Amino acid sequence: MKVHNLRWRDIMHHAKLNWVRLPIDTIENCRELGGYLTETGHPTKWHSFLRSSEMNKITNDDIDFLKEYGVKTVIDLRRKEEIEKSKNPLSEMNDFDYHNISFHAGNVGDITRYAATKENFTMGDFYVDLLKQHHIVKELFHTIYFAKEGAIVFHCRVGKDRTGVLAMLLLGLAGVSKKDIVSNYEVSFTNLESLHPAVDKFDHLPSDYFLSRRENILQAYHYVIDKYGTFENY
């Protein structure tokens, strides 16, 4: 009991801090959208939005950390078949409001499915296709708007592509600069160390599918700005 109390006090202390990448070893790419300078001169709010890779290996201690960090809502962007293979444990806990909103382009939520059918199809093209799914984007923001007070964590499988597009929209709406939006996206591949061997292993797929190159998120960014003028108009 004494050891447990010490561990719990440590969790309580660390969960009150602001983290760029959360200290959760079982999730490779779980990080904050807080702390970015906006056009108003104020930073985006900490403990409000977290972007993440899948959470199927999360431990009870990690779950306790997320609770203390303030997480109340989980938005899972994966397809049903992905969830069947790798369920998010938070989906079955009363402490969290769990929503599965499959963020896909047409019938395709996985970019690798394009490899055999669409030559030279880039991640940037995939992101633009996602942005064209207005009914899904509307459902996402409806869910965010009506979420209970507390932090929202949203994730797909690796937390790079579908998650990256939603993160871009949130940061863009908050008035974060293009430079910081791109920077937020680019760090994904650095965090995803388990994905690094795949770049050479799956030589039948373009390396672009695994990396987080700036030109891909810039293609999505410019689609919004060039077509709609602002993120608000989009």
91: tokens are 């989906």
Q: Are 64 and 98 in contact (CB under 8 A)?
A: no
Entry pTM: 0.90
Percentages (nearest 5) of helix, strand, coil residues in the chain: 45, 10, 40
Q: Does 30 qualify as catalytic in the annotation?
A: no
What is the structure's pLDDT at 27? 94
* Burial class for 155, CB neighbours closer than 10 Å (0-12, 13-18, 19+): buried
For residue 105, pLDDT beyond 90: no
Q: Which residues lie below 8 Å from residue 111, measured CB to CB, with a gap of 6+?
A: 121, 123, 126, 161, 209
Average pLDDT over residues 129-145: 97
What's the mean pLDDT when you consider all of the chain? 89
DSSP letter for 28, please.
Answer: T
6 pLDDT more than 60: no
Pick the more confident residue, 167 or 11.
167
What pLDDT score was predicted for residue 113? 60
Q: How confident is the model at residue 37 (pLDDT cuts 50, 70, 90)?
A: very high
3-state SS of 10-21?
HHHHHHCCCCCE
Instruction: Check whether 109 has a pLDDT greater than 60.
Output: no
Show the CA angle centred on residue 27, arms to residues 23 and 31, nearest 5°: 60
Averaged pLDDT, 175-197 = 88
CB 47 within 8 Å of CB 61 = no
Please list, in sequence order, all residues whose beta carbon lies within 8 angstroms of the beta carbon of residue 223, skipping any fewer than 6 positions away.
Answer: 127, 128, 131
Q: Which of 105, 156, 166, 171 is catalytic?
A: 156
Query: Considering only 11-25, 190-204, 218-232, which range has the smallest mean pLDDT?
Result: 190-204
